[in-house]
Amino acid sequence: MKGLSVSKAVTALMLAGLVLLPLYSYLSGNIFILTLFTRIVILALAAASLNLIMGFGGMMSFGHAAYLGIGGYAVGMLAQEGVGSGFIQFPVALAASAIYALVIGALSLRTRGVYFIMITLAFAQMAYYVASGLARYGGDDGLTVYKRSDFSGLINLSNRTQFYYLCLACLFGVIFLIWRIVNSRFGLVVQGLRSNEQRMQAIGFPAKRYQLVCFVISGTMCGLAGALLANNTDFVSPAVMYWTRSGDLMVMVILGGMGTLFGPVMGAVVYLLLEEFLSQITEYWALIMGPLLLLIVLFGRGGIMGLLGRIGRG
């Protein structure tokens, strides 16, 4: 029980920090930290969505960054064509991600294990090359978003603080949804399938249908992160879909703790802060980051959340 409370305390502390961050940024005059944390919150949202299929569903998708690109390009392309309203851009971003997830999921879920990892990776790389070939939308160089999504005065995305809180609200909203889903009938079936597919089939659950729906929910959530990311950087390029970005998301999930509600958020915060911090010290920051991650994964089974649980138990 005490182990639970340690990880809970750290989680609560982290969440409080995220909520109060703009205040700190305002008081200290440090604008950079707000920009940095906006990016962290958005990628935490992407990691949380990946965790739904990877941690809870046992589906190791190695192509999750594709949704970041699809959501981002939906915003960027519509903006370029003169459709600046967020009320159109965001639903289109979500719908495009959902459709992509439906098609890719239907094909990928015919396979299992390593093949599933490889096929999701292959599709994401295809999306990457398709985006590179979009000459009208910048091709390789990417696409500048000259004007952020317009929500008719409801909220101003160009205001750093407002935009940060929008991203944070999206993150909390998605985590709330995941929490409900995981404990619902649907969520129990999906987790049951992760645990023992043969048994679930034998008691009467068609595996693929449930996994596909879960795959689509996860992809749609990540599409939201993509739409936010394009607004944050005022730019979208094929690079956001590159496989290393998918790998980053996986690392965040594993680092924080697969199959835990707040693990991916923790993972995103720690991973991106480390990256930021180490890259300031040395150009070869990856040389330190790599072994560090290795240690955490080797000795902290269950990621940071698992580690905190064990510290609590002593």
- Could you tell me the smallest distance in angstroms from the CB atom of residue 197 to another protein? 10
In terms of CB distance, is 159 or 195 closer to another protein? 195
28 lies in the site for another protein, by CB under 8 A: no
112 lies in the site for another protein, by CB under 8 A: no
Q: What is the rounded distance in angstroms from the CA atom of residue 138 to the CA atom of residue 140?
A: 6
Q: Is the dihedral of CA 256, 157, 145, 127 positive or negative?
A: positive
313 lies in the site for another protein, by CB under 8 A: no
C-alpha closest to that of 55 among 153, 194, 159:
194
1 lies in the site for another protein, by CB under 8 A: no
In terms of CB distance, is 5 or 196 closer to another protein? 196
In terms of CB distance, is 119 or 200 closer to another protein? 200
- Could you tell me the smallest distance in angstroms from the CB atom of residue 194 to another protein? 9
Q: Would you state the structure tokens that stand for residue 286, as one six-digit string? A: 């990856």
In terms of CB distance, is 136 or 185 closer to another protein? 185
91 lies in the site for another protein, by CB under 8 A: no
- Could you tell me the smallest distance in angstroms from the CB atom of residue 210 to another protein? 7
The alpha carbons of the chain give a radius of gyration, in whole angstroms, of 19
Tell which phi-psi region holds residue 111, choosing left (phi > 0), alpha (psi between -120 and 50) or beta. Answer: beta
Kindly determine how many residues on this chain lie close enough to bind another protein according to the rule CB under 8 A. 24
301 lies in the site for another protein, by CB under 8 A: no
Q: Would you state the structure tokens that stand for residue 296, as one six-digit string? A: 């955490």
Q: What is the rounded distance in angstroms from the CA atom of residue 111 to the CA atom of residue 105?
A: 10
Contact letters for another protein, residues 53-72 (x by CB under 8 A)? --------------------
In terms of CB distance, is 158 or 201 closer to another protein? 201
Write out the binding residues for another protein, residues 161-220 only, by CB under 8 A: 180-181, 183-189, 191-192, 195-196, 198-206, 210, 213
- Could you tell me the smallest distance in angstroms from the CB atom of residue 56 to another protein? 11
In terms of CB distance, is 192 or 312 closer to another protein? 192
> Quick check: helix, strand or coil at residue 186?
helix
Q: Could you identify the residue written with the tokens 């370029």?
A: 80
- Could you tell me the smallest distance in angstroms from the CB atom of residue 2 to another protein? 19
C-alpha closest to that of 141 among 246, 241, 239, 39:
239
SS3 sequence, 196-252? CHHHHHHCCCCHHHHHHHHHHHHHHHHHHHHHHHHHHHCEECHHHHCHHHHHHHHHH
Chain residues that interact with another protein, rule: CB under 8 A: 180-181, 183-189, 191-192, 195-196, 198-206, 210, 213
